[in-house]
Amino acid sequence: MDQRFNGKLCIVTGGGGEIGLATAKRLAEEGAAIALIDVKGLERSQEQLEKITKVNSYVCDVSRYPEVEATVDSVLKDFGHVDMLFNNAGIQGAFAPIHIYPVEDFHSVIEINLVGAFHVLRAVSAVMVAQGGGVIVNTASMAGVAGPVNMAAYGASKWAIVGMTKTAAKDLAPYNIRVNSIAPGFMGPGFMWDRQVDLQAQAGSQYYAADRDIVAQQMIGEVPMRRYGTIEEIPGTVAYLMSDDSSYSTGINIQISGGI
């Protein structure tokens, strides 16, 4: 595999999760050193990545800016530079119609998915401005494009990520920093897919059945390719956006959705 990222350091938030780990692996295989950030689950990712590249793990709650700032300072101290950021930490939250959606859960999802993403974006972009350049990829979602049923908090947070990406791209372009986002659709198999199918079945709506097996079929039926995407189909898109192959791309949102 080409070593497009030799000598570069990428921060990956949500590094303990499936998308974070898979993407970190791809970047590591292409030569990048990795700084993993998450609130938990970093042991597995650390163990797998240290077989490929230099990797450090940092426990951090992205919803708390002092923790984010201190963690980014630690990364800079340990590696000396930050060239790339995969701003990926997030949670799905509850599944319920908006008139009964849990208020506390809405705040929690927004605090992690949107405010947390802003915290990381702010802290890392400040480092990149001082360095004279960098590349950032934010994780949005097709939920931030289509308006998902029973997912008011998640959908709102991901709509906002797309908008924040476009603003950040304009704000940071003068400093040689590119900012883009990806919008995965239904991804599986695994925890995220199973959880979404189960909770949509339980939520009750005219859009999905109460039987989780039927819900899975209904969700697949919404995808033009008639299948869910695999986690392994995400890293290549992120790697492209991080690379010089997309050196003229900024402010775009690439949909990984199996169709239009």
Cis peptide before 189 (omega within 30 of 0): yes
Those residues whose C-beta lies under 8 Å from the C-beta of residue 241, and which sit 6 or more positions away, are 135, 137, 178, 180, 182, 249, 254
58 is catalytic: no
SS3 state at 231: helix
Compute the distance between CA of residue 105 and CA of residue 112 in angstroms, rounded to an integer: 11
Compute the distance between CA of residue 206 and CA of residue 70 in angstroms, rounded to an integer: 47
Give me the catalytic one of 58, 65, 101, 154. 154
DSSP secondary structure string for all residues of 82-123: --EEEE----------GGG--HHHHHHHIIIIIIHHHHHHHH
SS3 state at 181: strand
SS3 state at 56: strand
Q: Write the CA distances from 4 to 69, 72, 218, 239, 245, integer angstroms.
A: 28, 24, 40, 9, 10
Burial class (CB in 10 A: 0-12, 13-18, 19+), 70: middle
The answer to whether the CB of 59 falls within 8 A of the CB of 34 is no
Name the residues annotated as catalytic: 154
